[in-house]
Structure 1
Amino acid sequence: MSDGPLPTTNAPADAAELADLEADSAVEATVEDPTDESIVIEELTKRYGETVALDGITLTVTPGVHGLIGPNGSGKTTLFHVIAGLSNPTAGRIERPPDAVGYSFQEPRFYPELTVRENLSVFRSLDDDPAPVDWIETLLSELRLEPAVDRRAGDLSGGFRKKLDLALAFLSRPTVLLLDEPLADVDEYSRRKILAFFEDYSDDDRTIVVSSHNAAAFEGLYDRITILFDGEIRADGPPDDPDVARYRRFFG
């Protein structure tokens, strides 16, 4: 099921520890009492032909900021797709809040010929129950998109493209946000402002699940972290959990 050997380092001790991680078995995630705002995943499996992308995962994600960490090919994107309803599981069960799930993709998706404001207005018009118009102004300010509001989206720099994609994910004020590399190409000042916005947003019984190779940028923001490896849960708990920290040394 592995996509290939783990990365190695020049230090024999590091190489030995990486080998130990690869040999670890899956663990049972801490399953909390779910609320109406929780994501409940039970024995979830996803296969693509002979490839097992997710292997019997059981996990409850409760409101707050939840980190999803693992190497490339570990199943993080597949899990996001299943939670978002973009892909059906092969087996198992998933429950999510009835509201729409917001999704910020690793590769931003929008109408390149439209301006930033036009993109937000068009996507807002597609919602059955759109958020108030002033929510667009809030997103422009909190995500530091105001300098680019009248620029054609296709002409934006990488950082502004990512911020527009984030704004689209938050546009319907969803209960659940799935953010794939949400700070990619974003400048340091914008990062601090965006992280503060994430924290405030999640305080209102909302869930933000973050997948990022730059997990250190979210230090102090995570309420809980799940380590995904070869389609299995290898560690799960608060950021200071020893097993979580063992994996984070190499993967975030």
Structure 2
Amino acid sequence: MSNDSTADGPADPDPPIDDRDSARESDRRIGDRERAGPKPPGFEADDPIEATADAADGDAIVLEGVTKRYGTTVALADVTLSTEPGIHGLIGPNGSGKTTLFRLIAGLSNPTSGRIDRPAAVGYSFQEPRFYPELTVRENLAVFRSLDDDPEPRSWVETLCAELRLEPAVHRRAGDVSGGFRKKLDLALALLSRPSVLLLDEPLADVDEFSRRKILDFFADYADDDRTIVVSSHNAAAFEGLYDRVTILLDGELRADGAPDDPRVGKYRRYYG
């Protein structure tokens, strides 16, 4: 697939990122502070919020009995799950609850019930890339890096540009680059703080084949250093051979969880390979 396509901007019901205040600008950096983003469609103000979301002592994400309802629709039903280092595939068809689960882990939405523990730093690459469209790619990287209290060295930014093949676009206005470069910029922004846990929602969308292979190699090396990458993708087969663990979600329910060769996971292989 080529990444030559262009668009006017990321389709997102939220206001453009350059209209947000400084607290909302840092939504991609998941830490201790509460997020100020809008509630998802269908959220009712009087929904009972019984869940807690605390920073875990280690680098694991732990969900216990997590349920999410939008009115009468159950998006997630009593999900209990924990992560561990490696590449973790979150697999299921459209509407299975994958993005909802990511938003709950990231603190961008509240569960209706249950408990979520997460590390102090979680990187999140959104399904629809989010950045300042009026700034160049490099300016976006500089602005988001400045939001960290203790930013990684500038050499890490250059590493990301090289490994994600962003270099050809670094001086271009971000709103003018192709869909593939938009996605790669969003990945770089999620990785800026070198988080121990990374949530990737459709990380290879619109990315050309050569860049895809290079990015997959980078993900494998990144996870090898005791880090966790949770991947949600319609193109799950692209990660075949990289998964250390696979979780199957169907209709908001956890149907299987384990190693890719686990027979319980294998029953759902049509969804990921």
The interval holding the TM-score normalised by the smaller chain is 0.7 to 0.9
Q: What residue number does 2:118 align with?
A: 96
* TM-score of the two chains, using structure 2 as the length reference: 0.77
Describe how 1:241-252 pairs up with structure 2 within 5 A. Answer: 241-250=262-271
Measured after TM superposition, the shift of residue 242 of structure 1 is: 2.4
d(CA) in 2 for partners of 1:91 and 1:110? 31
Measured after TM superposition, the shift of residue 79 of structure 1 is: 0.4
Q: What residue number does 1:165 align with?
A: 186
Runs of 4+ off more than 3 Å:
none
d(CA) in 2 for partners of 1:85 and 1:174? 16
Measured after TM superposition, the shift of residue 87 of structure 1 is: 1.1
Query: What is the aligned-residue RMSD (CA, Å)?
Result: 1.4
AA aligned opposite 2:65? E
Q: What residue number does 1:69 align with?
A: 91
* TM-score of the two chains, using structure 1 as the length reference: 0.83
The question of whether the paired residues in 1 share the 8 Å contact of 2:91 and 2:232 is answered with yes
Structure 2 residue matching 1:110: 3-state secondary structure:
coil
> Which of 43, 46, 59 lines up with 2:68 in the alignment?
46
Structure 2 residue matching 1:209: 3-state secondary structure:
strand
Aligned residue pairs total 218
Q: What residue number does 1:26 align with?
A: none
The question of whether the paired residues in 2 share the 8 Å contact of 1:37 and 1:205 is answered with no
> Which of 209, 217, 237 lines up with 1:216 in the alignment?
237
The question of whether the paired residues in 1 share the 8 Å contact of 2:57 and 2:119 is answered with no
The question of whether the paired residues in 2 share the 8 Å contact of 1:102 and 1:174 is answered with yes
Q: What residue number does 2:169 align with?
A: 148
Q: 1:66 to 1:186 in 2, by over 3 A?
A: same
Percent identity (aligned): 79
d(CA) in 1 for partners of 2:272 and 2:75? 18
AA aligned opposite 1:37? D
> Which of 61, 74, 79 lines up with 1:57 in the alignment?
79
Measured after TM superposition, the shift of residue 209 of structure 1 is: 0.3
Stretches of structure 1 that go unaligned for 5 or more consecutive residues are 1-33
Describe how 1:60-139 pairs up with structure 2 within 5 A. Answer: 60-98=82-120, 100-139=121-160
The question of whether the paired residues in 2 share the 8 Å contact of 1:39 and 1:60 is answered with yes
AA aligned opposite 2:62? V
1:202 counterpart = 2:223: yes
d(CA) in 2 for partners of 1:42 and 1:226? 15
d(CA) in 2 for partners of 1:79 and 1:92? 12
Measured after TM superposition, the shift of residue 73 of structure 1 is: 0.9
